[in-house]
Structure 1
């Protein structure tokens, strides 16, 4: 299967073009037609309706959804992928029934326009806003998050437009069909998996926010505190010695285990492993303990 590069897809998105985005075969195994909401017009909306299921969705950040006062559609989401649908909307002024291509393009354009507020939209309507998870595809590998990621990475509005591509008989288009559709319509064709890899390679996902000296019985370490930009979880790197001048250095990556590390639980050897790692680094005079917080390492302590 031949996919476009993420760079090419971002260039297309910047130009206001559609991109075909496919997810994994073990997930929904579908492809969505995605475009930035601030690039949509009546002609593009008509194209989207003609080649998709017609259920036009508008993925957006939580901040935008909160500003527009768009609560979740249901309090108990039992949809298979937990897609975060909000109440549906139509633009109140300048539209008729809300269902035409022109009306729907006007509604999604307004959702992306910060001059519009909550009171400018009728509820329910014919456009289905979606709330994207903070962190995008790195937190949830869904089309909702892919759309918002593409918008943000391309420097467009933080609202996208998407719908599932279908075949002429109404059945869902799968990988071979999607590739053919993209080629026939000269559209970029990417996978969510490639978008995840691109973001991991090109983005700084942690920030350094503090450091302190920690004297221990094995030597004086410097603690460097980092915060994940995805979920806010804080991790610590304990450094001994000068890493730049060292030919090699011992490194221990340790998953937080409260009961083992702090209480010395006999149900695991986490605490003893951590202590031994610090002892060995102390004997070498240089090394790092990377302490990953936010989860029990093996769940047995």
Structure 2
């Protein structure tokens, strides 16, 4: 026969510690509360609570939208906050610079580092340009097996080398090298995906069987690097329309797509067809 007087109010309150880097490091409510307080120039802390539906289930975004409208409350999602911070904060810093003579041309190699997790990013730069000049650009995701070991499973290494040759011939341009191994799933998971491909899965199915989306890459860091290098408009070397959308979503303009097709081989023909038919790449195969 317990009543309201038997329940202590406000109940249990658990202290939570937000991750350094906020929602850009961990997309959680704790980090969102602290980030919002910081953006408001307030003490970096907050009080968070769970809103429940009438049936006792946890309210999700659609439910919360209705709740906010009913009570005339402002509402923001963690996704909105992540996008805002990416657009308004510098998340990479320039750390080192040197000359890099190579078999594909001579470049200025610039090392950048993420302020969120200390991961390293690289830009190969050649020549100079005016601020509004469309610059030849390649945004290349790291592929150890293809770029270094010459794997026939993909076309990554030949694409990288072809892009370097094209920038060399142009006399100016930028090649970004981003740490997004295996379309963002990491090296070990990529090797697991290789094993699944040996059993019949294609590159998309293998990622999905491992619990990942087909493509987890993000181009926010790369866009900031390009901006820091003075690029505002670009001629992007890519066969992937999604990459164009990803780069333009961070305030840069792609004025032209430059195809970067590589002749397929018996080891990657299925991979190439999967890129065309499941990932939307523009390929003449």
TM-score tier (shorter): 0.5 to 0.7
Aligned position for 2:151: 265
User: CA 1:178–1:254 in 2, change beyond 3 Å: closer, same or farther?
Assistant: closer
CA deviation string 1:277-299 (max 9, x = no partner): 11111111111110012523484
Q: Which of 178, 190, 215 is the equivalent residue of 1:292?
A: 178
1:250 matched to 2:149? The reply is: no
User: CA 1:217–1:164 in 2, change beyond 3 Å: closer, same or farther?
Assistant: same
1:277 matched to 2:163? The reply is: yes
Q: Which of 79, 84, 89 is the equivalent residue of 1:193?
A: 79
Check conservation: 1:233, 1:294, Cα contact below 8 A.
no
Whole-angstrom CA distance in 1 between matches of 2:37 and 2:158: 47
Aligned position for 1:117: none
Normalising by structure 2, we get a TM-score of 0.55
Aligned position for 1:223: 109
Normalising by structure 1, we get a TM-score of 0.52
Gaps of 5+ in 1: 1-98, 105-125
Whole-angstrom CA distance in 1 between matches of 2:40 and 2:127: 42
Aligned position for 1:153: 39
Structural RMSD (CA): 3.1
Name which one, 1 or 2, has greater alpha-carbon Rg.
1
Whole-angstrom CA distance in 2 between matches of 1:191 and 1:291: 31
Aligned position for 1:207: 93
Using the TM superposition, give the Cα deviation of residue 203 of structure 1 relative to its aligned residue in structure 2, in angstroms. Answer: 1.2
* Higher-RCO chain (CA-CA 8 Å, sequence separation at least 6): 1
Stretches (4+) displaced over 6 A: none
Whole-angstrom CA distance in 1 between matches of 2:141 and 2:79: 26
Whole-angstrom CA distance in 2 between matches of 1:170 and 1:270: 50
Check conservation: 1:258, 1:296, Cα contact below 8 A.
no
CA deviation string 1:182-216 (max 9, x = no partner): 45655422222221221121111211122111122
Using the TM superposition, give the Cα deviation of residue 151 of structure 1 relative to its aligned residue in structure 2, in angstroms. Answer: 2.2
Whole-angstrom CA distance in 2 between matches of 1:294 and 1:179: 34
Whole-angstrom CA distance in 2 between matches of 1:153 and 1:235: 27
Higher helix share: 2
User: CA 1:215–1:155 in 2, change beyond 3 Å: closer, same or farther?
Assistant: same
CA deviation string 1:9-35 (max 9, x = no partner): xxxxxxxxxxxxxxxxxxxxxxxxxxx
User: CA 1:251–1:168 in 2, change beyond 3 Å: closer, same or farther?
Assistant: closer
Matched residue count: 182
Whole-angstrom CA distance in 1 between matches of 2:15 and 2:75: 24
Higher strand share: 1
Q: Which of 95, 106, 121 is the equivalent residue of 1:235?
A: 121
Whole-angstrom CA distance in 1 between matches of 2:127 and 2:152: 32
